[in-house]
Structure 1
Amino acid sequence: MVFWLLAGVLCLQVPPQEFWPAGFVAFSLPGALVLNFFFLLYWVLSRSWLFVLPLTVLLLGWNYYARLLAINFEQEPPKGAKALQVLSFNTHMFNAYLGQTPKEAEAAKEMIEWIAEHPADVYCLQEFYSKRHSNLYNTISKIGVRYNKHRFFSVANVDREKGDIGVAIFSIYPIIEKGVINFNKSSANRVIWTDLDVKGDTVRIYAAHLQSMSIKSEDIENTYSAIGNEESFKKEGRNLARRLRNGFVARGEQVNMLLEHVRESPYRAIVCGDFNDIPFSYTYNELAEVMENAFVKAGTGIGATYNGPLPFLRIDNQFYTSGLRAVGFETHHEMGLSDHYPISATYVVEPRTEEAR
């Protein structure tokens, strides 16, 4: 178990595009962490000195346990502090492709209204969908224009109904500058960024949508149903493994491009979105090495954000650089109409020192 843990931690440092099997070893790390905890309980209850080994592993690897489970007390921004609340949400195109039944239309309307009326200062929306001449899906108008929000929408695709699909940022604060990080011509995934004037301080906001895992619920169901049929199970297992491998490799390249841009930013930054990778991945690890994670610093519990057949997955995150401090984090499980749950975080914009000015 200890060797498994060590291998998993080492594989977090390995770019999957250079050695893709490392992605699978890192992906299994939560199993080793949970097993170590049960070993600790077992040896303590057995009154054996061997409890020292799993206890030592737990203490040395506490930062990795914190990625699994956050324990923080509720905080409030200090009186007079400059606070900024950011909402991130993969809207799943407001379920526009699930059918135009009255039930689906009502769900889309509810989702759009929930976002439009959320008290966050900034919205970062992935798989955003807007159709100008639609009473239901004219989301730019319903979320941005109606509430006088500044906005930036980068369109990745246009569907047959002339609806736009992409990544969007809405803000109550003025947008000074904006841009797009395109990964490659064939990919709809991208990162957009805006520099916001937050009461005299410039804060750069990134809204990221990295390569999908491309695993549908039927893929998982097919794999489970194939258990007992060796040939069918191998076929479905290889299919899942191939999709995971392709995702590991693509996201490894994409996060490097994103971090290169973040490092060159002259402003403090918040990087949020759908990263399509768990906290035990090269993608997450690279981001966590240069930034703090808002859930780890201010959240509570497991914080699962994927609303699908695989439970306990946290694949949506908010990271931030120095000069900011997370004082609140929430996973909005009450909004379960997308295949992702929204997340919001409240930040204190720390006063700049004279040297920084």
Structure 2
Amino acid sequence: MKKLSWFDKLIFFLNSLLAIALILAYFLPYIPPKSYPLISVLTLGVPILIIANLVFFLYWLLRMKRQMLLSLIIMIVGFGFASKFYKWPFTSEDRAGKYSIMNYNVRMFNKSVWTEEENIPEKINAVIDESDPDILTIEEYYKNEYLEKKYPFKFIKYRSERSSFGQAIFSKFPLIGKTSLDFNVDDFTGDNNNAIFTDVLIEEDTIRLYNIHFQSLKVTEDVQEVDNFKDKQESKKVVKNISSGFVRQQNQAEKVYQSIRESAYPIIISGDFNNTAFSHTYKHVRNDRFQDAFVKKGAGFSSTYNLNYFPLRIDFHLLDTVFEINSYERIKVPYSDHYPILTTFSFKN
């Protein structure tokens, strides 16, 4: 440190702070938000922490300073952690799987007019038609006659009997039984979030399929309200609102996990988690049992939420180990605040 200039000392101080933050982030999936809700907010910043430590490493490497070891060691320790964030692109000889599943949060097909672009429902339908998935799960669904005619089997759970808003599962295969976990009944959330599941008869096999939409953290809405965090009081309010959302997600994840444990069939989980792969919510549901389709076959950052310059992967396909994941694709189309994801899979022999 004595040989460092005052500027390099400042850089190393910042490097140390962000390195410590990344180490803390490694433990966050194991810490229930109910215990430390404010700390859980850090999971949203993990992509920035990883990139920042990489930049610091490169900075010290170019200057041939041993301070590079700090970020290097921390990134090596968390290599598996980083693989949930970025996958190095490679050419795969694997062919598409026998079956396909798509997840898409369609933001009500623009019923709320969040964008001035015209014919959003038709454009979303065209994206779905092009991929033609065997199974389609949708969050923030609004009644769509085209899809309801396209797929012979469906499970649509509306917010209420008089509502046309909710979640949906569409399938080319028969659906046996339809269940809603009804988060709102347990006061875990408002009526906009839920988890539904059904058993799907794929040829001679039966699988259980979940469509999950966990509590929204409303990050973008809150950030806009406080004018980029210029007001300290409003900034604290934003953090409090987000941390409260983490606690609700934990309650919801626990309910989903209990349902998963009761299933006698292999499971596929599809949905919008409203949280990252570094969160307690993700870890509790995945529970070292399920394969993350992106981790297996993805490439690049594969951000699934349209947030400028900030890669957020909050939509997931998690598959039991009886399935072979053959391909994964994030389809970048600007018709919702989420991008659809498409996974192809087969049954292992």
Aligning the two structures, in what range does the TM-score lie when normalised by the shorter sequence? 0.7 to 0.9
Tell me the equivalent position of 1:150.
153
**CA distance, structure 2, for counterparts of residue 246 and residue 91 of structure 1:** 25
State the AA in 1 paired with 2:140: E
The question of 1:214 aligning with 2:218 is answered: yes
Matches within 5 A, 1:4-153: 4-75=21-92, 83-98=98-113, 106-116=119-129, 118-130=131-143, 139=144, 141-145=145-149, 147-153=150-156
Shift in CA distance, 75/234, structure 1 to aligned 2, threshold 3 Å: same
CA contact (8 A) 1:74 1:328 kept: no
Matched to 1:224, the amino acid is: D
**Cα distance between partner residues in 2 of 1:222 and 1:178:** 39
Amino acid at match of 1:179: T
**Superposed CA offset, 1:110-136 (max 9, x none):** 223433553111000011111xxxxxx
Residue in structure 2 matched with residue 345 of structure 1 by the alignment = 343
Which residue in the other structure is 2:236 paired with? 238
TM-score (norm 1): 0.83
For the 8 Å contact 1:83–1:348, the answer to whether it is kept is: yes
TM-superposed CA distance for 1:10, in Å, is 1.8
Cα 1:56–1:172 change in 2 (3 A) is same
Separation of aligned partners in 2, 1:69 and 1:144: 36
**RMSD between aligned alpha carbons?**
2.5
Deviations 1:217-266 (CA, angstroms, capped at 9, x unpaired): 4x423433563xxxxx1132123112211211111111111122222221
Deviation, 1:107, is 2.0
Q: Partner of 1:336 in structure 2?
A: 334
Deviation string 1:277-333 (CA, Å, 9 cap, x unpaired) is 022211122234332211111111111111245731111111111101222111111
| Maintained 8 Å contact 1:329/1:345 | yes
Deviations 1:74-124 (A, max 9, x none): 54656xx9722100001111111218x9x6652223223433553111000
Counterpart check, 1:295 vs 2:294: yes
In structure 2, do the counterparts of structure 1 residues 214 and 74 end up closer, same or farther at CA, with 3 Å as the change threshold? Answer: same
Distance 1:3 1:43 in 2: 17
Q: SS at the partner of 1:36?
A: helix
1:273 to 271, 274, 283: 271
Q: 2-side partners of 1:40 and 1:262: how far apart?
A: 42
Distance 1:20 1:271 in 2: 25
| TM-score computed with the length of structure 2 as normaliser | 0.85
Structure 2's unaligned 5+ residue stretches are 1-15
Q: 1: CA distance between counterparts of 2:171 and 2:34?
A: 35
Q: Check 1:293–1:338 CA distance in 2 against 1; reply closer, same or farther (3 A cut).
A: same
Hey, what's the Cα distance between the residues in 2 that align with 1:308 and 1:7? Answer: 24
1:124 partner SS: strand
Q: Is the 8 A contact 1:294 1:329 kept in 2?
A: yes
**CA distance, structure 2, for counterparts of residue 15 and residue 90 of structure 1:** 26
How many angstroms apart in 2 are the aligned matches of 1:82 and 1:34?
Answer: 33
Identical columns (%): 28
SS at match of 2:31: coil
Do the aligned residues in 2 keep the contact of 1:72 with 1:298 (CA within 8 Å)? Answer: no
Determine the C-alpha separation between the residues in 1 that align with 2:229 and 2:20: 31
C-alpha distance in 2, partners of 1:47/1:226? Answer: 37
- Is this contact kept in 2: 1:88–1:124, CA < 8 A? yes
2:12 aligned residue: none
Conserved 8 A contact 1:193-1:205? yes
Q: Is the 8 A contact 2:151 2:170 kept in 1?
A: no
Structure 1 stretches of 4+ with a deviation exceeding 6 A read none
Post-superposition CA distance 1:14-33 (Å, at most 9, x none): 11123212302333333332
Distance (Å, rounded) in 2 between the aligned partners of 1:51 and 1:345: 38
Residues 86 and 76 (structure 1 numbering): CA distance in 2 closer, same or farther, change over 3 Å? farther
1:52 and 1:104 map into 2 onto residues whose CA distance is: 49
Question: Separation in 2 of the partners of 1:211 and 1:52?
Answer: 39
Q: 1:89–1:343: 8 Å Cα contact kept in structure 2?
A: yes
- Residues in 2 aligned to 1:122 and 1:173: alpha-carbon distance in whole angstroms: 8
